[in-house]
Amino acid sequence: MQRANNLYLICVLSQLGTEPLLTAAGLRSSLPTGSKVYVRALNEPGVHPAGVVHLSDGELTTSLFAKVQKADYTGVQNLERELHFLSNVAPMITAENPMLRSPLPIAYYPENRLLLMEFVPGDSLKHHLFDVIFNPTPRRNLAELLQCAGQWLGSLHRLTRKSAVANPLHWLLEEFESERTSEAFRLFSLQSSYNELRRILMQCLTANPTFQRNLCDVHGEFTPIHVMVAGDAIYVVDFGNSREGFAYEDVGLFESFYDCLLPWRAVAGSYRMKLQTQKRLFLRAYFHESAATYWPADKAIMRWVRLISFARMLNGGQRRYSGWSKWAYSRIALSALRNKFARLCNAELNALKQLRPDTFADDTYSEQSAIYEPLVNPENVESSANA
């Protein structure tokens, strides 16, 4: 499939022609020395064909990032939505803090379904945190990177907070009943737990039909994979799934990325900084920037969100790998993930069974300073970060 995507991207760029590409990049196409265009496909497969376009007018060279939407694509990710986010939402975050960025949109060709944007020459936050690196390079300040990621997401949710409200329990039920969530419980033989969790959720929704929370813009796929590190800034990328929703989704997905780490990545990440400390640094920065308070009702919602996010990561993991990586994932990683998911499921179910009847009816009985915490109480952040 990846080869087919690469060929599709090259075909679309060829149809557009060299001159429009050079013009979009700010190069001159009329130089007698001649111009060149070279396309480098991505190593990681994605929903849309994408790659780096290297351009030269004979004297100057530059690079753009290209993403194209296939004519027969019927999924939820949309390049026009990504263009809107890059043009109108992301600049608000950067205006507050120049270290928190996203690629600049360069040009959009609707007839070709082609989006050109700034190329960010860096590695992902996932690479810095979890990859097994054999060639030593200058180590980045991981605490600062995690804090920047939390600040970016907190700024997004704060700046785009809507006056419109909705009942997040409705959203939870829809996500919990989705195929990718129910499939994870079936895969790991946890159907009885799924039924009980769904029963409690239905009970909460029936008892609290008017429970409300404000909507905001969500990234939709906010994980360390989609945070690039370049120079003195982070760049959050891939907004094709951005939309209006609840902030829980982005927070839960970032946290669940840790729960679904392949064993060797978890070891590498823990060696650099304890994983619970990494989570805590991200969450503290997020809440400081978003100025949000997670009341007991929100904490209860996050228990379902963690399970939904874990299931989503499992679903993506099984589609992401091929070759020997797919063999390693199915033979080694899935066994470890089965145990993690079962423990998480049992912990969340036991907690939800103790849910107070008035949790969603009264948001005021908890201390206002209380914020959302990861499932396992982490070590003291300051001492762990300095260790």
Q: Which of 16-30, 208-222, 358-372 has the lowest mean pLDDT?
A: 358-372
State how far the Cα of 290 lies from the Cα of 285, in Å rounded to an integer.
9
Spatial CB neighbours of 72, under 8 Å, sequence gap ≥ 6: none
Q: Given this model, what pLDDT does residue 133 score?
A: 74
Look at the alpha carbons of 222, 224, 225, 227 in this order and tell me if their dihedral is positive or negative: positive
Amino acid at 102: S
Nearest CA among 125, 122, 153, 131 for reference residue 261:
131
Mean pLDDT across the stretch 302-313? 94
Contact 291, 238 (CB under 8 A): no
User: Who wins on pLDDT, 318 or 181?
Assistant: 181
User: Who wins on pLDDT, 358 or 320?
Assistant: 358
Q: What percent of the chain has pLDDT over 70?
A: 84
Q: If you average pLDDT over every residue of the chain, what do you get?
A: 86
Contact 258, 278 (CB under 8 A): yes
Selected from 3.30.1540.10, 3.90.1200.10, 3.40.109.10, 3.20.20.60, the CATH number assigned to the domain covering 123-386 reads 3.90.1200.10
Q: Given this model, what pLDDT does residue 3 score?
A: 74
Q: Which of 13-17, 71-75, 330-334, 366-370 has the lowest mean pLDDT?
A: 366-370
Q: Which of 57-61, 157-161, 246-250, 256-260 has the lowest mean pLDDT?
A: 57-61
Q: Given this model, what pLDDT does residue 277 score?
A: 95
Judged against a pLDDT cut of 50, whether residue 378 lies above it is answered with: no
Question: Helix, strand or coil for residue 53?
Answer: strand
Q: Which of 42-56, 204-218, 264-278, 355-369 has the lowest mean pLDDT?
A: 355-369
State how far the Cα of 13 lies from the Cα of 319, in Å rounded to an integer.
27
State how far the Cα of 109 lies from the Cα of 68, in Å rounded to an integer.
10
User: Who wins on pLDDT, 382 or 374?
Assistant: 374
In angstroms, the Cα distances linking 82 to 64, 104, 209, 236, 248 are: 16, 11, 33, 12, 21
Mean pLDDT across the stretch 231-246? 94
What's the whole-model pTM score? 0.89
CA 281 from chain centre, in angstroms, equals 17
Q: What count of Cα atoms within 13 Å lies in the side-chain half-sphere of residue 238?
A: 17
Mean pLDDT across the stretch 76-105? 96
Best mean pLDDT range from 11-25, 215-229, 320-334 = 215-229
Instruction: Tell me whether strands 100-101 and 233-236 are parallel, antiparallel or unpaired.
Output: parallel
Spatial CB neighbours of 135, under 8 Å, sequence gap ≥ 6: none
User: In this predicted model, what pLDDT tens digit does every residue of 124-163 receive, in sequence order?
Assistant: 999 999 987 766 555 679 999 999 999 999 999 999 999 9
Mean pLDDT across the stretch 352-356? 94
Strands (E), 189-339: 213-214, 216-218, 227-230, 233-236, 243-245
Q: Which of 81-85, 277-281, 363-367 has the lowest mean pLDDT?
A: 363-367
* Predicted confidence band of residue 386 (pLDDT cuts 50, 70, 90): very low
Nearest CA among 96, 139, 371, 149 for reference residue 282:
149
Strands (E), the chain: 36-41, 50-56, 61-68, 100-101, 105-109, 114-118, 123-124, 165-166, 213-214, 216-218, 227-230, 233-236, 243-245
Judged against a pLDDT cut of 50, whether residue 383 lies above it is answered with: no
Q: Given this model, what pLDDT does residue 44 score?
A: 63
Instruction: Tell me whether strands 36-41 and 50-56 are parallel, antiparallel or unpaired.
Output: antiparallel
Judged against a pLDDT cut of 70, whether residue 318 lies above it is answered with: no
> What are the residue ranges spanned by the domains of the chain?
2-77+104-118, 123-386
User: Who wins on pLDDT, 257 or 57?
Assistant: 257
State how far the Cα of 165 lies from the Cα of 18, in Å rounded to an integer.
48
User: In this predicted model, what pLDDT tens digit does every residue of 3-57 receive, in sequence order?
Assistant: 777 888 999 999 998 889 999 998 876 655 667 888 887 766 667 889 999 998 8
Q: Given this model, what pLDDT does residue 298 score?
A: 94
User: Who wins on pLDDT, 384 or 153?
Assistant: 153
State how far the Cα of 37 lies from the Cα of 207, in Å rounded to an integer.
61
* Predicted confidence band of residue 264 (pLDDT cuts 50, 70, 90): confident
User: In this predicted model, what pLDDT tens digit does every residue of 165-194 receive, in sequence order?
Assistant: 999 999 999 999 999 999 999 988 999 999
